[in-house]
Structure 1
Amino acid sequence: MFRPLPFFVGLRYTRAKRRNHFISFISLISMLGLTLGVLVMILVLSVMNGFDRELRTRILGMVPHASINGYQPIEDWRSLADQLEQHPQVVGAAPFIQMQGMLTHNGVVAPVLASGIDPEAEQRVSIIGEHMQSGTLEALREGEFGIIIGELIARRFNVQPGDKLTFVMPEASVTPAGVFPRLKRFHVVGVFKVGAELDGSLAMVHVADAARLSRWQPGQVQGVRLQLEDLFQAPQVAWDLVTRLPGDYYAQDWTRSHGNLFAAIRMEKTMIGLLLLLIIAVAAFNIISTLVMVVTDKKADIAILRTLGASPGTIMGIFMVQGSVIGVVGTIAGGVLGVLAALNVSAMVAGLERLLGTQFLSSDVYFISYLPSQLIWTDVIIICGTALGMSFLATLYPAWRASRTEPAEALRYD
């Protein structure tokens, strides 16, 4: 079978045991460095993609993509919702009333955002129904003052469905006995868990009960929250809707409340990718030092090949093949190991947490309580392609030096 001379000799040099074991060691280090760089870059970018995905599906699945709010309580939210749902980007609408306050139980106090919802309409704009640990949204009934809390709140208060909690509103009531905060007893009807910071800061009550606590008329709401087809169009869609509506309304969207998290993840992914790219660059440019030493060690062989008729281009091709083999093997090994690590890192970290009896990502500190990972094959192709490109470029200078070797000069002392 015909094989071009550069490939034949280059591959032979790669497989051969060199007299200089230090050169073999440097070659191995270059290959391992490239493998490690590709592996780590695929793994880290997959984790960043996982955080990005969880932000979209969990955090932004619980908070409204956009909301239309009234400066005064909205009387007929159903007709407003019907108008909003005529927009092609709007896939669901539901009323809400938000109340800041504190929950207390047996002397334990925690701040909370209580959101008044309509249980039937809420399922069109939120994923809360899919993450109920106990109870259901339908358990929220008008006039019964039930409350659904997050798993972290339930754990902090050590309560379960059927227990009582006291909601303290940031308002005071003046009585003949003095000034007292406004209090209301709720009974727990459900517990949800989305694995994010919302488990410790969000509670839900019936929208009619929230209106009564806010001293509004029955049927009045604060605004209508929207689920959009494309959440990244939220600012434009919200502005378009509020300018078309008759009446006095203002719009809000998720980029104001949680956009900083999304922007931070995007920026961190870019910066970490650039930093990890330097690891690949260092490993790739180690090939230069390896090939320079190989060229010095093989001067006599190069001279003999030149005297036998090998052209400078052939000599250059030999050492380019040898350096490229190091790059290809290191990149393929790193790519395979990186893909395997990215696909299994969530399970491995969860197993390590169980083994050590600790939690690395606590919901009290981080907005997601586990390590997510999402492998995107485009990232893998770009990383491996970049590594191969750097490896190929690293072979050019040593191979060019080898092609400039003069046979008479190299064989003078041999």
Structure 2
Amino acid sequence: MFFLAIRQLISRPQQTFLTFFGILLGTAGYVVFSGMMLGFQEYITDQLVNNDAQIRISPRDEVLKEESFKGVFFPDSTVHWIKPPSGKTDSTQLTNVNGWFLKLEQDERVEAYAPQLNRQLIFKYGKQTLPGKLYGIDPTRQLRVTTIGNYVEKGNLRDLDRGGDVIFVGAGLLEKLGAESGDTIQVVSTNGTVSNVKVAGVIRVGNRLIDESSVYASLRTVQRITQANGIISEIVIRLKDVSQAAEVATEWSFFTKDKVQSWDQAYESILSVFKTQNIVRDTTTFTIILVVAFGIYNVLNMVVNHKKREIAILRSIGFDENDTIRLFIIQGLLLGFVGAILGLLVGAAACYALDGYPIGGTSKSGPAMMNVMKISWNYQIYLNAFLLSVVTSGIAAYIPARAASKLSPVEIIRGSA
């Protein structure tokens, strides 16, 4: 049966080759397209998960309503508002820092956490004045929660804890100020207080928005500069299992007034873009597979039409309907199997060539966040490509196989006589 199926395919080499080539290109196209899209998604997800907190606890901004003041004024009387309250309260510190520290220490799901005090301030050097965000951190704890240490261009982030008013400045902000590592910069707080700090290091993340606005100092330094002794504005957390981030954040938010948000909740809009990309990928895959299926159907349909006499002879010597169906399905699966295997090899070779290919240049603000092509080597891509090609080939072969099984040997021989 197997050798007979091969002989029938070889008897029409041009159609067989074109169908085989279509399967090969379809499989390779799926591998390359999926590798590129999933590689981009994996890179961005890694940036979001590792470069920032997996869970962030911050003060909640409350929108003012009539219920916000219930019991505050005249608790034993009914209050009628001439103009209902509006706006919101901008809280700048957590409600129960010590309580959070105790809870995080006892929760086995937490791998590490770090306190922060973040403030928007003004930075001056010479005649240049620029706004920026000053992050007060505990370097030892921060390095366990995020990968900020990987982006230190000059200096050692742990130097922030060695005393003295020193800062690590984003490369873009430092260049705009016209300063260099080792220079002294002035920091102007919201109440007009001016503090002198020394640039001990440079951080270059590759994201212009971060590099042109971020400054890091020790927690104690920021508390002193902003006159906020003992105040913590955020706690950033890393979990042992990042997939539990949303579940844990939702659980914690039930017993606190603070805002508890996981990374996937914070970047929901970006993840929705990933869903759109997956829809585009699936649609493209369906189109490719549909074209491949039509190619297989056309080839086997022509084989049925041109091999009616041979089919009649096979039926006459004992082939039944099921044998005929098997014959053509073997041909379809054979095309799909060989085409899929070679398609996977071609796709993998193309992915290897594209992985690390330069796609972005450098600017005065430093390198782009993603300046080379990222390719995913997830085995699921190759497994899906193989199964789609083989299964589609089998299904596409069944229709002409079914038609061939219905042919009557007597009518075929009589019609060709």
Interval containing the TM-score (normalised by the shorter chain): 0.7 to 0.9
| Amino acid across the alignment from 1:38 | T
- Per mean C-alpha deviation after superposition, the further-off stretch among 152-161 and 26-35 is 152-161
Of the three residues 216, 220, 235, the one matched with 2:228 is 216
Residue 36 of structure 1 is matched in structure 2 by 25
Residue 115 of structure 2 is matched in structure 1 by 95
- Per mean C-alpha deviation after superposition, the further-off stretch among 320-329 and 298-307 is 298-307
Shift of 1:151: 4.8
Of the three residues 376, 392, 401, the one matched with 1:374 is 376
Shift of 1:10: 0.5
Contact 2:57 2:234 in 1 (8 A): yes
Residue 9 of structure 1 is matched in structure 2 by 4
- Closer, same or farther: CA 74–37 of 1 in aligned 2, 3 Å: same
Q: How does 1:102-141 map to 2 (within 5 A)?
A: 112-141=132-161
Secondary structure of the residue that 1:220 maps to in structure 2?
Answer: coil
Of the three residues 390, 393, 398, the one matched with 2:392 is 390
Residue 274 of structure 1 is matched in structure 2 by 283
Residue 324 of structure 1 is matched in structure 2 by 333
Residue 286 of structure 1 is matched in structure 2 by 295
CA distance in 2, matches of 1:41, 1:84: 44
1:162 aligned onto 2:157 = no
Normalization by structure 2: what TM-score?
Answer: 0.77
Contact 1:97 1:210 in 2 (8 A): yes
| Amino acid across the alignment from 1:297 | H
Of the three residues 206, 215, 221, the one matched with 2:218 is 206
Residue 335 of structure 1 is matched in structure 2 by 344
Q: Which ranges in structure 2 are unaligned for 5 or more consecutive residues?
A: 60-90
Shift of 1:300: 2.7
CA distance in 1, matches of 2:401, 2:277: 38
Residue 178 of structure 1 is matched in structure 2 by none
Shift of 1:403: 2.4
Contact 1:94 1:225 in 2 (8 A): yes
Shift of 1:9: 0.8
Cα deviation 1:12-39 (Å, max 9, x = unaligned): 22234x3xxxxx4343232222222222
Contact 1:75 1:220 in 2 (8 A): no
Cα deviation 1:174-193 (Å, max 9, x = unaligned): xxxxxxxx776654322334
Of the three residues 67, 77, 84, the one matched with 2:56 is 67
Contact 2:58 2:235 in 1 (8 A): yes
Cα deviation 1:124-182 (Å, max 9, x = unaligned): 2111123323211123257744332345556666765224556676x575xxxxxxxx7
Q: How does 1:233-252 map to 2 (within 5 A)?
A: 233-241=244-252, 249-252=258-261
CA distance in 2, matches of 1:239, 1:109: 41
Shift of 1:106: 8.1
Cα deviation 1:238-258 (Å, max 9, x = unaligned): 35445557xx64433323432
| Equivalent residue pairs, number | 384
CA distance in 2, matches of 1:72, 1:194: 26
- Closer, same or farther: CA 201–369 of 1 in aligned 2, 3 Å: farther
CA distance in 1, matches of 2:297, 2:27: 18
Shift of 1:225: 1.8
Contact 2:206 2:368 in 1 (8 A): no
Cα deviation 1:19-78 (Å, max 9, x = unaligned): xxxxx4343232222222222222232333333333343332222222333545469956
CA distance in 1, matches of 2:52, 2:333: 51
- Per mean C-alpha deviation after superposition, the further-off stretch among 47-56 and 278-287 is 47-56
Residue 226 of structure 1 is matched in structure 2 by 237
Contact 1:116 1:206 in 2 (8 A): yes
Secondary structure of the residue that 2:144 maps to in structure 1?
Answer: coil
- Closer, same or farther: CA 11–277 of 1 in aligned 2, 3 Å: same
- Closer, same or farther: CA 378–255 of 1 in aligned 2, 3 Å: closer
Residue 191 of structure 1 is matched in structure 2 by 202
Contact 2:95 2:258 in 1 (8 A): no
| Amino acid across the alignment from 2:408 | E
| Amino acid across the alignment from 1:391 | S
Secondary structure of the residue that 1:149 maps to in structure 2?
Answer: strand
| Amino acid across the alignment from 1:52 | Q
Contact 1:41 1:276 in 2 (8 A): yes
Q: Which ranges in structure 1 are unaligned for 5 or more consecutive residues?
A: 1-5, 19-23, 174-181
Shift of 1:88: 1.5
CA distance in 1, matches of 2:178, 2:401: 70
Shift of 1:284: 2.1
Secondary structure of the residue that 1:162 maps to in structure 2?
Answer: coil
Contact 1:195 1:370 in 2 (8 A): no
CA distance in 2, matches of 1:78, 1:72: 16
- Closer, same or farther: CA 329–160 of 1 in aligned 2, 3 Å: farther
Identity %: 23
| Amino acid across the alignment from 2:152 | M
Residue 34 of structure 2 is matched in structure 1 by 45
Contact 2:92 2:233 in 1 (8 A): yes
- Closer, same or farther: CA 395–158 of 1 in aligned 2, 3 Å: farther
Normalization by structure 1: what TM-score?
Answer: 0.78
Shift of 1:338: 2.4
- Closer, same or farther: CA 106–318 of 1 in aligned 2, 3 Å: farther
CA distance in 2, matches of 1:334, 1:312: 33
Contact 2:94 2:258 in 1 (8 A): no
Shift of 1:122: 1.3
Shift of 1:105: 6.6
